[in-house]
Amino acid sequence: MGAIHNKIKKLREQSDLTQQEMADKLNMHLKTWQKVENGITKLDIERLQLIAEVLETTVEDLINVDDSVYINAIKDNEVGFNNSSVTINHKSEEEKNLYERLIAEKEKIIADKDKEIAFLRGLLGK
């Protein structure tokens, strides 16, 4: 079972949801959900977003599997951590690909919004 799958299971348990309740909220069969938790089913961005929504968290929180590091403040381009040292862990290839897809999706959303803003500014200027 991968670290992301472990975290999803832990968050589900902390939310006092059974596997069946989680499957119902995601409109899937119990066996399908069990495969997600056991790391058999690969997770795409869309499914992670749905899981995050049900668990009342963010996709970023789901994929941040290093529980010893928590960002507790971001101010003036400085980041505060609640631990004295931060180590960089080697991520699995699957997790690396997931990060890359998530970043690409966010960049696409930003580019689309930039185009929309430019279009709306053009309309206002006429």
Tell me the per-residue pLDDT of 9-25, one tens digit each, with 9 for 90 and over.
989 999 999 999 999 99
Mean pLDDT in residue range 35-62: 89
Q: What are the angstrom distances between the C-alpha of 81 and each of 7, 87, 112, 117?
A: 20, 12, 33, 35
CATH number of 3-89, picked from 3.30.70.3450, 1.10.260.40, 1.25.40.10, 3.30.2350.10: 1.10.260.40
**Sign of the C-alpha dihedral computed for residues 86, 66, 93 and 78 taken in this order:** negative
Label residue 78 exposed, middle or buried (CB < 10 Å: 0-12, 13-18, 19+): exposed
Q: Mean pLDDT, the chain, as a whole number?
A: 80
Q: Write down the pLDDT at residue 44.
A: 84
Query: For the whole model, what pTM was predicted?
Result: 0.53
Q: For residue 41, give both structure tokens.
A: 């089913």
Query: Identity (one letter) of the amino acid at 59?
Result: V
